Amino acid sequence: MWSNVIHLINEKRRFILTTHTNPDLDALGSEIALDEYLRSLGKEVSILNSDSVPGAFRFVDPERRLRTFSPGRHRETIREAEVIFVIDASGGWDRIGRVGNALADAQATVVCIDHHPDPVDFAHVALVDPDAAATAELIFKLITQAGGVITPTIARALYLAILTDTGSFRFPKTSPETHRIAARLIEAGADPAQLYKQVYEQYPLERVRLKGYVLNSLRAEADGQMVWCALDQATLKAYGVAPADLDGFPGLGMEIGGVRVSVLCVEMPKGRVKVSLRSDGSVAINGLATELGGGGHPSAAGATVEGDLAQVTAQVVAGVKVLLTTGQSRRCPATVP
Ligand SMILES: [Mn+2]
């Protein structure tokens, strides 16, 4: 599985790493770990993302390796790149955002490393394992298969990625292998207590208060099998929290007994709504997300939809109700694994 990529890494010199828009810690941690490994081999590496690092995640990149793509500044880098690693993102160049448009025309070999079950026809080489709990598990395997050393920087970055993408080792894909990798990362210098505190216990007061608002605003439907919340721009502004800083909010409703699906709809600028769906694993919600023009995993998926907040929310709530009664979404059951 890994030999093609290891061969590319050994043969080529100039690499670009990129990931999806609204990057999470699996995306960013995987990028930093792979960047560190490639640099240890003397390679030239640029991490180019469409979006800047959300405020709450800046601690993950003390050396400021993560760059926000700018067409003027990075044209040359893209032209000279020999290999492009697309990390934690499948489904096509659109998922990568602005930098995706620029990379789509590049001459380089495109390698996709991901655990999302979405199409990978944009890549020359695809290493996709939908059973992996985090893309970071795959990056760990790549580095160790290639004979690389897990440095403390790599260990911290990958541990953070796995910690967050597994919801602190509790989401359905958390496996014995996930724990074995985590153990190796702790041995290599990742400190679980310190890293947990950095992710989950450093929020500004405003965000914790907004969490209280969301919990108070949850609405139950379908005999309590679904809860939803719609957050408008005015509320976000009143609390002083950016849409990019709502990581973890979509799953808040899952704390309630009997809830199978939790929905969060957030009003974004320019008449768009960010829809996030979470499931307890008893129903796959990524088919519905795909219908809405997004994608994701069976138990965590989302989409950004054009339209009015109330109208999009009503549409999503209705879609989830159908899912809960029939077990499948109306138009594309085939996309549900
Ligand atoms: Mn991921």
**Chain position carrying tokens 């789509």:** 104
pLDDT above 90 for 92: no
- CATH for 3-200 is 3.90.1640.10
Q: How far is the CA of 223 from the centre of ligand 1 (A)?
A: 31
| Strand 83-87 with 14-19, pairing | parallel
Confidence band (pLDDT; 50, 70, 90) for 336? Answer: very low
Closest CA relative to residue 246, chosen from 95, 56, 51, 26: 56
Q: Which helix (H) or strand (E) holds 322?
A: helix 309-326
> Other CB atoms closer than 10 Å to residue 162's CB: what's the count?
28
Rounded to the nearest angstrom, the distance between the alpha carbon of 245 and the centre of ligand 1 is 17
Mean pLDDT, range 51-69, rounded to an integer = 92
CA of 106 to the centre of ligand 1 (A): 25
As a whole number, mean pLDDT of residues 205-211 equals: 97
SS3 245: helix
Q: Which two tokens stand for residue 291?
A: 């219908």
Q: 140: CA distance to ligand 1 center in Å?
A: 13
**Which H or E run includes 316?**
helix 309-326
Nearest alpha carbon to residue 231 among 221, 223, 241, 222: 241
pLDDT of 158-172, one tens digit each?
A: 999 999 999 999 988
Cα 134 to ligand 1 centre (Å): 5
Q: HSE, CB side, 13 Å, CA atoms: give it for residue 71.
A: 6
Q: Average per-residue pLDDT in the chain?
A: 94
pLDDT of residue 33: 98
From 130-134, 241-245, 281-285, the region with the lowest mean pLDDT: 241-245
Residue 75's φ and ψ, nearest 5 degrees, are -60, -45
pLDDT one-digit tens code per residue, 115-127: 998 889 999 999 9
Neighbouring residues of the ion ligand 1, judged by CB less than 5 Å? 26, 88, 135, 165
Ligand 1 center to 30 CA (angstroms): 9
Mean pLDDT of 201-208: 94
- The residue assigned the tokens 């129903």 is 283
Cα of 162 vs centre of ligand 1, distance in Å, is 8
> What is the CA 43 to chain-centroid distance, rounded?
26
234 CA from centroid of ligand 1 (Å): 30
| pLDDT at residue number 178 | 98
With a cut of 70, say whether residue 200 has pLDDT above it.
Answer: yes
Residues 299, 291: contact at Cβ < 8 Å?
no
Given the structure tokens 């800083």, which residue do they identify? 245
Give the mean model confidence (pLDDT) for residues 99-113: 94
272-279 and 261-268 strand pairing: antiparallel
Query: So where are the chain's domains?
Result: 3-200, 205-335
> For the residues 163-187, what does the mean pLDDT come to?
96
Neighbours of 326 (CB within 10 A): 11
Cα(88) to ligand 1 centroid in Å equals 5
Percent of the chain residues topping a pLDDT of 70: 97
Q: Is residue 323's pLDDT more than 70?
A: yes
The C-alpha R_g of the chain, in whole angstroms, comes to 20
- Tens of pLDDT, residues 135-146: 999 999 999 999
84 CA distance to ligand 1 centroid (A)? 18
Pairing between β-strand 272-279 and β-strand 300-306 as defined by DSSP bridges: antiparallel
Q: What is the pLDDT of residue 328?
A: 62
Q: What is the pLDDT of residue 329?
A: 56
| 304, β-bridge pairs | 274
Give 237-266 pLDDT, tens digit per residue: 999 999 988 988 999 999 999 999 999 999
Domain boundaries 205-335, CATH class = alpha beta
Q: State the distance from the centre of ligand 1 to the C-alpha of 130, rounded, in angstroms.
A: 10
Pick from 232, 238, 228: nearest CA to 318: 228
pLDDT band at 333 (very low <50, low <70, confident <90, very high): very low
State residue 119's pLDDT score.
86
Q: What is the pLDDT of residue 56?
A: 82
What pLDDT score does 1 carry? 81
* Cα–Cα distance for residue pair 235/237, rounded to 1 Å: 5
